[in-house]
Amino acid sequence: MRKLLNTLYITNENAYLALDGENLVCRIENENKFRIPFDNIENVVCFGYTGCSPAVMGKCVSKCIPINFVSPQGKFLAKVCGETKGNVFLRVAQIDKFREKSLQLAQNTLSAKFCNCVQTLKRTLHDSPRLRSDEEINQAISTLTEGTKSLLSAESTEQLLGIEGNCAHVYFSVFDKMITNKNPYFRFEYRNKRPPLDNINAMLSFIYTLYTNEFAAALETVGLDSYIGYMHTLRSGRSSLACDLVEETRCLAERFVISAVNLKIVTEKDFEKQVSGAVWLNDSGRKKILTRWQEKKRTDYIHPYLKQKIQFGLIPYVQSNLLAKYIRGEIDEYPCFLLK
């Protein structure tokens, strides 16, 4: 099992990363703010445009540490990483398997996604007795359950995507009911993105981006090509396979956002609204969310398939390993992530 080290988040937009021997140095306005040994870093995420020196990028590549460049608003820009590790035959098998089993894999992935949505809603009913008789939530659970059955009988990717769109609409139509913090600044009406138009959507997009990057990094470590997926169409520069796998675990990102709002970890002061109407987390908001996200990654979690206790942050690595085992023929079916 890969040891879970720290992801280094550079949230200051004016920060510049430089190399000093075996240490990574963060400079702001020509002043060294901190240095950290490369052996203590697993992943680097930079929120800004100043970037880092070529020497840092070369060092990170040699140590297989990916550097992700994300805009201050949370939009993924680019990633610098070394060569894909692993046997070339695994990547050939990946392409062959996805050509043969893409529909089945997509069916299982989306079924797991909406089974997890149902579990998220049921957990809300468990935690909030006043909502147990809520007709909209109970109807949503029924619709998602039926939608999951329909996914497993779909005969084409286009049919799958149509069912997915309907289920996602139903799920997010009751998402606001899971938010107990009734501050009007955190009212959720519907899912929107590119750009997000309210505080909840801004947080969802931000965490989705982080989690997708973590899946992309995990796939690299097991030798799979993160740019060749089975459900998301191939697109230059997009980690399609990471986008596929993160679908199963979006529920974890959504639970995290709900908790952050309900526990009042974030406030309306942690967001900024652009003239265009786009809403983004500001520097203060990003720091709060990233701090809690890192804390969450270090908590223990019982993996539903392995039945073993692992750190939450290892879930992308476990799922990537299981997918690699399926592609190599070591297991008969890829076990999607399912909430228990």
pTM value is: 0.78
- Beta carbons within 8 Å of 134's beta carbon, 6+ residues apart: 125, 174, 177
Rounded distance, CA 181 to CA 259, Å? 10
> What are 3-15's pLDDT values in tens digits?
444 668 787 778 8
pLDDT at 189 exceeding the cut of 90:
no
Topology of the domain covering 6-80: Ribosomal Protein L15; Chain: K; domain 2 (3.100.10)
Rounded distance, CA 98 to CA 334, Å? 12
pLDDT at 299 exceeding the cut of 90:
no
Domain with CATH 1.20.120.920 in the chain: 88-328
Specify the DSSP class assigned to residue 236: T
> What are 75-87's pLDDT values in tens digits?
667 778 766 555 6
Better-scored residue on pLDDT, 258 or 50: 258
Mean pLDDT of 46-68: 84
Whether 195 and 279 have beta carbons less than 8 Å apart is answered as: yes
SS3 317: helix
SS3 92: helix
pLDDT at 2 exceeding the cut of 60:
no
Rounded distance, CA 104 to CA 57, Å? 39
Rounded distance, CA 211 to CA 76, Å? 11
What six digits make up the tokens of 324?
């690699």
Strands 23-28 and 31-37: what pairing? Answer: antiparallel
pLDDT at 97: 93
Domain with CATH 3.100.10.20 in the chain: 6-80
> What are 145-172's pLDDT values in tens digits?
998 888 888 888 888 889 989 999 999 9
Mean pLDDT of 228-243: 84
- Beta carbons within 8 Å of 224's beta carbon, 6+ residues apart: 84, 86, 90, 91, 94, 241, 320, 323, 324, 327
pLDDT at 4: 46
pLDDT at 213: 86
CA–CA–CA angle 142, 146, 149 (5° rounding): 150
pLDDT at 46: 82
> What are 191-212's pLDDT values in tens digits?
888 888 989 999 999 999 889 9
Q: Is the dihedral of CA 75, 339, 142, 134 positive or negative?
A: negative
Rounded distance, CA 314 to CA 268, Å? 32
Architecture category of domain 88-328 in CATH: Up-down Bundle (1.20)
Give the containing element (helix H, strand E) for 318: helix 315-328
As a three-state string, the secondary structure of 59-81 is: HHHHCCCCEEEECCCCCEEEEEC
pLDDT at 5: 47
Task: Label residue 114 by pLDDT band (50, 70, 90).
Answer: very high
Rounded distance, CA 176 to CA 186, Å? 9
Task: Label residue 74 by pLDDT band (50, 70, 90).
Answer: low
Which range is least confidently modeled, 81-85, 105-109, 111-115, 161-165? Answer: 81-85
Report the b/e string of 99-124 with b at 16+ CB within 10 A: eebebebbbbbbbbbbbbbbbbbeeb
Average pLDDT, the chain: 86
Strands 41-47 and 6-10: what pairing? Answer: parallel
pLDDT at 243 exceeding the cut of 90:
yes
Whether 193 and 203 have beta carbons less than 8 Å apart is answered as: no
Task: Label residue 1 by pLDDT band (50, 70, 90).
Answer: very low
pLDDT at 83: 64
Residue 15, beta-bridge partner list = 28
